[in-house]
Chains A and B, each alone.
Chain A
Amino acid sequence: GQNIDQPTEMTATEGAIVQINCTYQTSGFNGLFWYQQHAGEAPTFLSYNVLDGLEEKGRFSSFLSRSKGYSYLLLKELQMKDSASYLCAGYTGFQKLVFGTGTRLLVSP
């Protein structure tokens, strides 16, 4: 199976750090994507992890542990504009994306 699980909603305050977790069944994925999606808009690419470890890109970092079927997206120095849904997606051997349920992040002042 390829179930991908994320928390439904998270809240955080401006300037803080938030970690959004994603767990998945370990079979079938060649890598893991994170996308940001604002309401009514298409997803935009944030990161892609294919090897274990942490990938840092500005205020956003993504971590992957393939053996544990676990990834997280770390957002630092939160800004109001970071309020959005964050989608975890597995990349399958058939070159398709399987999306998780998404996490709605609300950043408050």
Chain B
Amino acid sequence: GAVVSQHPSRVICKSGTSVKIECRSLDFQATTMFWYRQFPKQSLMLMATSNEGSKATYEQGVEKDKFLINHASLTLSTLTVTSAHPEDSSFYICSARTRQGSYEQYFGPGTRLTVT
């Protein structure tokens, strides 16, 4: 089956620093990757949609200059949280879709970000 990995699984950073999260599709090429955020006891909220080789599309209310997304290849997307603050502490999950028009999304294991 399709496998998506994320790195790191957990990260603690100080307020004001930046942190990068990687999302990789291990055994398939992902035309589209999605980034979600999940606060404790809440559901997943889509942050942005990333298509390989083009700029990410951000959901309303998500600051594109704060959450930088790069999808430079068909197997890798990165999310950089710039100038992180404690309120950015959350569970960040990526998912990948194999081809245009496919409804299936395969989720990564998530990254727990804690900003102190």
Total A residues in contact with B, Cβ cutoff 8 Å: 20
Shortest beta-carbon distance from B2 to chain A in Å: 10
- CB A50 to nearest CB in B, in angstroms, measures 8
User: How many chain B residues touch the partner (CB < 8 A)?
Assistant: 22
B contact residues around A87 at 8 Å (CB): 43-44
Partner of A95, one of B93, B103, B107, B110: B103
Name B91's closest neighbour in chain A (CB-CB). Answer: A40
Q: How far is the CB of B10 from chain A (nearest CB, A)?
A: 10
Interface residues of B (CB under 8 A from A): 32, 34, 41-46, 49, 91, 93, 95, 97, 101, 103-105, 107-110, 112
Residues on A close to B: CB < 8 A? 30-31, 40-45, 48, 87, 91, 95-102, 104
**Would you mind naming 11 contact pairs between A and B with Cβ atoms under 8 Å apart?**
A40-B112, A42-B107, A43-B93, A45-B104, A87-B43, A87-B44, A95-B101, A97-B105, A98-B46, A99-B45, A102-B43
